[in-house]
Amino acid sequence: MATIRPRMPETAWAQLADALAWFRPKYEIIWNGGAVPSAFLSRARTDPHRGRLEDVLASMVRFYGVDAAEAKPPFVALVPVPPGHGTHAEAIGDVLLLEIRPNDGLADEASVIAHESAHWLWGLLQDERRKGLETFAARLDERGRETYALFHEAIPTALGQGVTDRVFRPGSWSLDDPWYHTFDVDVCAKSIYPVVRYTLESGGALDEAFLRRAIDAAERGPAAPRGLNPRSP
C-alpha cells in the first residue's frame, strides 16, 4: 500500500486500504505466515525436473525472438488458496500472479508458469515486429482475423497447458481435458498445439510463416498429431 500510494488519488487509496483491511483477518488464516508458498518454493528448488522447465522457457524465448536477458525479470507472486478448487493466474505487467494450493508441486504449476511467462514475453516484442504481425493479421479475411484475436490466449495456452504440461505430467495430459476456461480459446489452443510444439522443437519463431500454419490448423479444428499418443511422454 505504501508503494502504490503516490500513484493513486487519495480517496481511491483510502477505499482500497479499507477494503483490504476488512479482508485481511480472513485472508491471514489462508496466508498462515506464507506457509503454502514457502513449502512450494522448497519443493520446487529441489525438484529433479526443474531443468525441464528451464529448457521449455528457453525455447519460448527463442520462439518469441526477444532478448529476455536484457529485460527486467518478471516478479512471480504466489497466492495461496484453499484446496479442492481450481486456481487463477494472470500476468499483470511484469507481475505473474499464480494461485497455489497446499501440496501443489512444480509439475502442477509448470504449465501455468509457462502460460503467464508467454504473456510477459509477448510484451517484450519490439514495436516494429509487433506492428508487422498486426499488419499481417489485418490483411486476413474476417475468419482469419477472428482466429488471430484468439491467439492472444491460445498461443500461451498451447505453450503452457499443451507443451509444458505434457512434459511434466505425461501420464494425465490429454487433449480431451479442458485447457482453458472459455470454449473458443480451448478449441483454438488444441488445434494449434501441434504447430506450436513443432515450431518450438525445430527452433522456429513467432513469425508470419508460423501464423499462417497456425491459422490453417485452427480452421481445421483440433486433432491428435499423426502418430502421437496424447498421453505418451
Per residue in 26-58, pLDDT (tens digit) is 999 999 999 999 999 999 999 999 999 999 999
Q: CA-based angle 81:82:87, to the nearest 5?
A: 50
Cell of 27: 485472508
Structural domains in the chain (count) = 1
| Residue 47 counted as domain residue | no
Q: What angle do CA 207, 210, 213 make, to 5 degrees?
A: 150
- Whether residue 227 is predicted with pLDDT greater than 50 in this model: the reply is no
Contact 79, 137 (CB under 8 A): no
- Specify if 42 maps to a domain: no
Q: Chain centroid to CA 29: how far?
A: 28
| Domain span at 200 | 125-220
C-beta pairs of 88-97 under 8 Å, 24+ apart in sequence: 89/115, 89/116, 90/116, 91/116, 91/117, 91/119, 91/120, 91/123, 93/123, 94/120, 96/120
160 domain residue, yes or no: yes
Cα–Cα distance, 197 to 195 (Å, whole number) = 5
Cell of 71: 529485460
* 78: in domain: no
- Average pLDDT score over residue span 159-188: 96
Residue 225 has pLDDT above 80, yes or no: no
On whether residue 4 sits in a domain, the answer given is: no
Identify whether 102 is part of a domain: no
Q: What is the pLDDT of residues 74-88, one digit of tens each?
A: 999 999 998 888 899
Q: How confident is residue 223, by pLDDT bands cut at 50, 70 and 90?
A: low
